[in-house]
Amino acid sequence: MNLSPETPALLFSATSLILLAYTNRFLTIASIVRGLKKNYEENQTKSILVEIKNLNLRLTLIRHMQMYGVLSLFFSVFSLTLMFLDINNWGAYLFMASLFLMLVSLALSFWEISISVKALRVHLSDMIEETKNLTRNQ
């Protein structure tokens, strides 16, 4: 397999943007967890604990997404280094590994997003029920 050095270099910008998006998701969820913890200390409702458990899973997934994304970038850079040293076969194998790691990271991202959507739908269903009850009572 012949790869030019430009091929692994293409992954750099995409990986950087993906890692930035992952970090933003992490920071947003961390902020929500802090707020929920404060709310739980005041109200101590079970629904807050369930939501915190959900967010904890999402934080774990984001941590793994970041880890696999960083490993993908590392393998891509290392494969580029090997190609510059004319060790093209190993460079191609490492680049394939970096693509696989990026796929794992993206799959985890999809999983995390699906969990997020389910949690939002639970919140929306509560609100939809309340609006239905309001319209019935009017």
Going residue by residue through the chain, which has 138 residues, state the pLDDT in tens, using 9 for 90 and above: 666 767 767 777 788 888 888 888 888 888 888 888 787 778 777 777 778 788 888 889 999 999 999 999 899 889 888 988 989 889 889 999 999 999 999 999 999 998 888 877 777 776 777 777 777 776
**Amino acid occupying residue 56:** N
**1 inside domain:** no
Alpha helices by DSSP H, listed for the chain, are 6-43, 46-84, 88-137
Range of the domain at 118: 6-137
**47 inside domain:** yes
**62 inside domain:** yes
**94 inside domain:** yes
**How many separate domains does the chain show?**
1
Name residue, tokens 């790691």. Answer: 101
Which class for 20: exposed (0-12), middle (13-18), buried (19 or more C-beta within 10 A)?
exposed
Predicted pLDDT at 105:
93
Predicted pLDDT at 28:
86
**74 inside domain:** yes
Residues comprising the chain, all counted: 138
Report whether 102 contacts 66 (CB < 8 A): no
**93 inside domain:** yes
